[in-house]
Every structure is written in C-alpha cells, then in structure tokens.
Amino acid sequence: MGLLVLCAGGVFGQSVVKGTVKDQDNNLVPGVSVMLGKGKNTVTNVSGQFNLNDLQPGKYTLRFTYIGYEPASRTIDLKEGETRVVDIVLTSSAEQLQSVEITGRKESGYKNTNSFIGTKTATALKDVPQSISYVTKELMYDQQAMRIGDVVKYMSGVNQYTAYDDFTIRGFRTQNNSSVQLMNGLRTITGFWKQPLTNYLERVEVIKGPAAALFGNSSPGGIINRVTKKPLRDPRQSISFTTGSYNTFRTLADFTGPLNESRTLLYRMNIGYENSQSFRDLQYDKNFIVAPSISFIPNDKTQVNVDVVYNRSMSRLDRGQAVFGNNDIYSTPISKSINAVNDYLNEDNLMITASLTHKFSDAVQFNVAYLKTSWEEDLLEHRGANTYAKDSAGKPISTLVEMQVFDRNRRTVSDNISTYFTFDVHTGSLNHKLLAGYDFAQSKTPWGASQLTANGYRNNTNTGAGAYNAAEPWRFMYDAQNRPVPNVPHFDLTAASPYQLYDMSKYFFVKAAYDPTLYNAHGLYVQDQITIGRFQALLGLRYDAYRDWLNYEKPTEEIVKQDAIIPRLGLVYSLTKDINLYATYSKGYNPQTSVNMTNPDAGGPFDPVKSSLIEAGAKGDFFKNRLSATVSVYRIYQENMLLSMPGSDQLREVDVESKGVELDVKGQITPEWFVTLAYAYNDMPIKESDEPKEVGRQSPGAPQHQGSFWTKYSFSSGVLRGIGFGAGGNFVTQRFMDSNADQVLPGYELLNAAVYYRIDKFQIQFNLNNVLNKTHWVGGYDYLRLFPGAPRNWLTSVAYTF
C-alpha cells in the first residue's frame, strides 16, 4: 500500500505544458523551437502545436524562436499535476531575417517593407539612406508583365535605352557603363539581346546611384537586382494559362510547400512556357523556364538554400526599324524589321545559387553565397550595316539599307562569391550592426567563340567582297542600274514583301575568332549601421582590386590592374514614427577597358570612371503601414568618361553631371484599393562634344521627364464581389539618340486597363495595353535602328490556385 501511494504521488505530481503557435495572420507556424531548459525542448508540429510532458511543479520561462520572427517568451508558475495551455502569437521581424534570402516573402501586394540590397542585411526600406525602387510579383501579375522592360517603367528614373537588356538609370546607360546585374544580390550575366523574364521573380528592385561600396564596379546610375521566389512554409500551388494578341500562348506554374512534417525542408518550383509572335514582322519568342528552389532550415541558427534558373530561348534577333534617309520617323511601318526568314537566335542561360546562413550566437552571424552563371549564344542574322546602300558615286540611296550577315557562336561563364560576418554590438547608448566581408567576381569567355561575317560589295572578279570605294570604281562589280553589287542583297524599305529565304552559300564570308577573355575583382569591405535614439548612421568602406587579362592565354598576356577605395556615408532621422528623413554620400567606379588602357593610339592608359552621389530625401509609411512613399533629390557627378577627339584615334576624358528629383509611391489605401505611382525629373546635359550642336542638350537615351501610375480596386462584398478593375499608364518625354544630334525619339503617353474576376479558387483577367493605340518608340540608336513599342494589344489569363 505504501509503495502504491508513493508511485501514485509521483504520477499525480507530474505536470504538462502544451499549446499552439500562430503568426500575426492567424496562420499555424510549424517548426518553432520551444525551449524550457534542462533538456526539456521541442518543436511545433505541422499543426503548430507543442507538448512538454513529465514536468515538475515550479516556475519556468518558455522561449519560442523561429527564423523570420521576433523571439517570444512566457513565464509560468506550474502547479503539481497541472496541464497548462500556452498559446503564442509570433511577430514578423526584419532583424531576424537572414542576410541572404532563404524563405519566401510573407507580404502580398504592391508594397515591400524590407530589402537586403541596400545594406546586405535585413533592413526596413525606410531605414536605408538611399533611394530604392521596386516592383513586386503581385504588380507584375496584375499587369501580365513578362519582361524586365515592362516592369522598370513603374520605377522612377529607370528607362529603356533599346528593346534589349539595356536601360538608363538616372540618365546613365547601364550597358555602356559595363554595369553588372544582380540576382539575389550576387553579380550575374544575361544575354544582352533578350530581356530577362519575370515569372520566377519575387520582385525587381533598383538601388539608385553608385552602389560600388557594396557590390564593386557598377554604373553611376544604379544597379538592377532580381530577387527569385523562395519556398514558403505552407503548401501553395497555382497554374495559369494566357492567350492574346500576336498568337501569344503562355502557361505558368508555381508550386511550393514543405517536404517533411517538421517543415525544415521546403521547396519551390516555377515552370514557364511561352510561344508568341510579335507586331514586328518575322519576330517570335519561344521560352522554356524551370526554376527550382530548396531551403533547408534545420533550426533557428542555420539555413541553407539552393536556387536554379534555366531558360532556353528560341527567337530571331530584332535589330530594329529602319526609316527613309530623309529622317522621317514615320516613313516606314513600325512592323517592318530587316530580317531574313532563315535567321535565328538560340540562347541558353543557367544560373545556380547556393547560400548558407549560420548564427553563432544572437550577436554573430555568418553568411556565404555562390552564384554560377553560364550563357550560350547560337546566332544567325541578316542585319543592317548601320548605313544606307551606296550608288556608284558613293552617295547613299535613302530607301535601301546596306546589309550584312553574322553567324556567331559564343559562351560566357561567371562566378560570384560573397561572404561576410555581421555583429550586433552595444556600446553605451549606441547600437551597432557591424558587417565585414569579402567578394570575388570573375567572368570568362573561353576559346571557341567565333563569327562568320558577310558584308561589303563584290569585287570585279566576283571572288570576294570589301568596303566600296568610289575613288576606285574598277575594283567592283555593277548591276544594270550601274550600282555596285552588294555581297548581301540590300533591304528595300519600299518593298511590300521584302522577306525571303536567302541562299547564304552565295555570300563571301570572313571568319574571325573571338579571343578568350578573363577579368576578376576582389573586394574587402566593412560597414557599420549605428542607431542612437532617433538617429541612424551608415558608414561603409570598400577596397576593390580589378584585374583584366589583356591578350589572355597568349604569349603577350598582360594583367591590367586598377584598384579603388570606395567610401559610403548615410544618415537617417526619424521625424515621426512613420516618416524618416535621410541623406547620403557615396562614391563609385568603373574600370576602363583594357583595350583603351593599353592602345598607344588612344592616348592611354586612362583612370577608372569615377562617380560620386549626393542625395537627400524622405521616406514614409501611411494608412497603417499599407502605403509607402519615397521622395529624393540627387546629384551624380562622373569623372573620366572617354570621348573621341576630333580627327584623331585618341580619346579624352570628360566629366558629366546628372541632377534630378524622384517620387515613388507603392501599396494600398484600403484592403481593396492598390496603387503605385512614380515620377522622375532628370537633368543631364552634354557639356563637351565633337558636335557643337550637341552641347547643352540632354544626354542620349535619357528623358527629362518620366512617370507612371497603376491602380487596382477589387470588390470584396455586395453584388460586385470578386470583380476588380485596373487602370494606369506611363509617359516619357523626348529623348535624343547617340549617333546623330538631329535624330530624336518623340515623347509618348500610354494608357492600359484590366478587368479581374475571382470566384473561389479561379481568377480570370483581361488586360488591354496601349488602349489609345499610340505609335511610340521605347528606344533606339539612330533612324536605322529604332525600337517601336507595341500597338494596342490584349491578353486573357485564367489561373487556378489550390
């Protein structure tokens, strides 16, 4: 009897603590670490529940931790035999997010609260002392935007330079400045001819001004960063089908969720297929994209992520619209391209990212990420020779475009490693988030790249071709009209049906091999984000060592070196809880090419292109943090830009200046009403030029005014429940082109509209673009290479989410 009483007393004395963990949106949170101490620890199950048994009576402190949330604790006084229920709601925290994005963005809508691009740490956008524009996947989906060019028009200060992957940011052409692009904050490459697709992206963002203190050499105007979709903790699947103008067909799929019960292993798979033609003659695009992502989060200290993006693209390369030699931009239809039927452009782009984040303690964190990119091009194109055909006197024939043919194969690979530590340090009333890191970037074109070129005019024996010289007419063949016979037939701008399949065996080709190339850059940097009361300061310093191999893998190989020390200073003052004022100063640089630096006829070597930014502005959150706004004023000064000297092969260094004002508004006014608004004024006159009439006018490709808006309203109740309407547009003022001071692109204003209907898990939407059928051009080099925008067109999409 005594033994039974003792045993019963022991049993009755045991106590239990159990409960459920949810987030702010009332979603269950599995995988949360629940710690009681003395070996009494557990994690929440798939239903967000936990259970701690066999506890002795006493006072305990429960601690709850999970990546992406603020830690929570609860102190309890547990009585003998008691079963205590403790339900917890975790609050999302930017400070607890990893510096390399591992798990998917929790927000939905047009607003994004946090970014990694501005500081390499999870920081609220309003606390970053620099302007950052962005577009989320929700805005892309509402507008059925599948190209980066369709996305950037909803960012202030970003504009297309051509129809290629070629933009201006604050007046500076990114391609001309050898600007890198970023994917998930890592340097990558893409094929220049085709803009990256967007179906696998969470958002597209641009950090304005020089960002060299974080990422090394870059454009003075800014850097475009593409953030891929990451796995989510909760299962979600969607599939959509789209059809529309120009025989467009598109199907997209997005699947995500956990791979195990503890939700420590997450996956996401984005798949896309596109087959569409164009308003441009002979143009088409076929794309297949597969983008898997895996996240492994074994505990609240370690996270691992692997991303793969593969894009197979089959198309023709569009070299643009050519108009008559009388400079009448409306003299030919915008549909007319100068391709042949047997042209093609096949591209393969593969990007593989692996990243690791580990917390040694609450104060010390380590991050490392690696991105491998491979791009391959297989190209055959009939294209203009950037001039009109010549008569026997060497004068241009304004309705015939001189042609050439390229048959090219090449491949480029790049590597980027980014590794850094972060330290949370408190010194008195100062809070420091210290960052110290090392970056390595490398790009290589191996042996094997080559091109066949056919151009010029046939010689008098019909055994070869070369540039036509009217001073030596006896060297060339002539037709019945006494015109020199071209190697590749001219393109007749007046012909009703100029397109045909050419017999390329009749051309005279010149073979040229691309020499292998190699460059790399090493970067060491430190950064301190300091907080004291309402003030925040950001101090950064980077040392960058750029190495370019001239005559790579040849006996005359030479390494060209350029080093730079790059400072960055930013200040933020919290005027109110919702409004911050900021100011920033930073420097940037871009190495000059090794050809220019070592060419004796060019007058080199030259210093790197150097730039500096002074910017000030305000950032605020409104309507209960649903709407954000940023206004900024800036001045960017660039030194050592190279221009040709009149009548000489030598180059000279000149300075340019860009000044402007920008406004970005993103988010929602009510739960049903979404808005985005952008406006930019940019003043960037040419200060020196070989052409006197160019001096004082706006720099090529940079509009002085540019803006956009979009709004969407969805009814959540009543007779119209499930129906939504969207409307918006964008405008660009006139732009000058870089090849002729007399050639300009006219400004334009476009209107777009959309209708949505959601019922249960289905959504049907209809988008009408360029409602007023406005003829316009998104960019161009000159009047032989214009890039018109699409006339009125429509898209219809059906999506199912389950």
| pLDDT tens readout for residues 1-49 | 455 444 444 444 578 999 999 877 677 777 788 888 666 788 887 678 8
- Final residue in a domain of this structure, among 90, 105, 126: 90
Name the DSSP letter for residue 570: E
Whether residue 217 is found in the same domain as residue 249: no
Q: Give the pLDDT of residue 482.
A: 95
Whether residue 272 is found in the same domain as residue 168: no
DSSP E strand stretches across 100-215: 114-115, 123-124, 132-136, 158-160, 167-169, 172-173, 181-183, 186-188, 201-208
> Looking at the domain assignment, is residue 499 inside a domain?
no
Whether residue 172 is found in the same domain as residue 314: no
User: How much is the average pLDDT of 168-181?
Assistant: 73
User: How much is the average pLDDT of 628-654?
Assistant: 73
Q: Give the pLDDT of residue 102.
A: 61
Alpha carbon distance 355, 634 (integer Å): 35
Q: Looking at per-residue confidence, does 23 or 290 come out higher?
A: 290
What pLDDT digit, counting tens, does each position of 44-88 carry? 876 788 988 888 888 888 888 876 677 888 888 888 888 999 999
Quote the number of domains for the chain: 3
User: How much is the average pLDDT of 627-646?
Assistant: 81
> Looking at the domain assignment, is residue 500 inside a domain?
no
Whether residue 644 is found in the same domain as residue 759: yes
Residue 622 CB contacts under 8 Å (≥ 6 apart), including other chains: 578, 628, 629
Whether residue 290 is found in the same domain as residue 163: no
Task: Give the residue from 485, 410, 401, 418 showing the smallest Cα distance to 451.
Answer: 410
CATH number of 58's domain: 2.60.40.10
* DSSP alpha helix (H) spans, 112-217: 137-143, 148-152, 212-215
What pLDDT digit, counting tens, does each position of 529-583 carry? 999 999 999 999 999 998 888 888 889 888 888 888 999 999 999 999 999 999 9
Alpha carbon distance 611, 143 (integer Å): 36
Tell me how far the alpha carbon of residue 770 is from its chain's centroid: 24
Whether residue 276 is found in the same domain as residue 216: no
pLDDT at residue 135 tops 60 = yes
Q: Give the pLDDT of residue 139.
A: 95
- Report the 10 Å Cβ neighbour count for 314: 15
Whether residue 188 is found in the same domain as residue 244: no
Indicate the burial class of 572 (C-beta count within 10 angstroms; 0-12, 13-18, 19 or more): buried
- Sequential DSSP letters for 461-494: TSS-EE---TT-GGGB-B-TTS-BPBSSPPEETT
Distances in whole angstroms, Cα of residue 632 to Cα of each of 132, 220, 517, 678, 730: 10, 16, 40, 12, 20
Whether residue 219 is found in the same domain as residue 319: no
CB 473 within 8 A of CB 383: no
CATH number of 224's domain: 2.170.130.10
Confidence of residue 472 (pLDDT cuts 50, 70, 90): very high
Domain that holds residue 254: 236-452+511-801
pLDDT at residue 771 tops 80 = yes
pLDDT at residue 602 tops 60 = no
Whether residue 353 is found in the same domain as residue 222: no
Sign, CA torsion 227/118/354/523? positive
Report the length, in residues, of the chain.
802
Reported pTM: 0.85
CB 393 within 8 A of CB 471: no
- Final residue in a domain of this structure, among 189, 209, 228: 228
- Report the 10 Å Cβ neighbour count for 103: 20
> Looking at the domain assignment, is residue 480 inside a domain?
no
Confidence of residue 100 (pLDDT cuts 50, 70, 90): very low
Q: Give the pLDDT of residue 101.
A: 60
> Looking at the domain assignment, is residue 458 inside a domain?
no
Whether residue 333 is found in the same domain as residue 384: yes
Average pLDDT of the residues of the chain: 88
- Report the 10 Å Cβ neighbour count for 790: 17
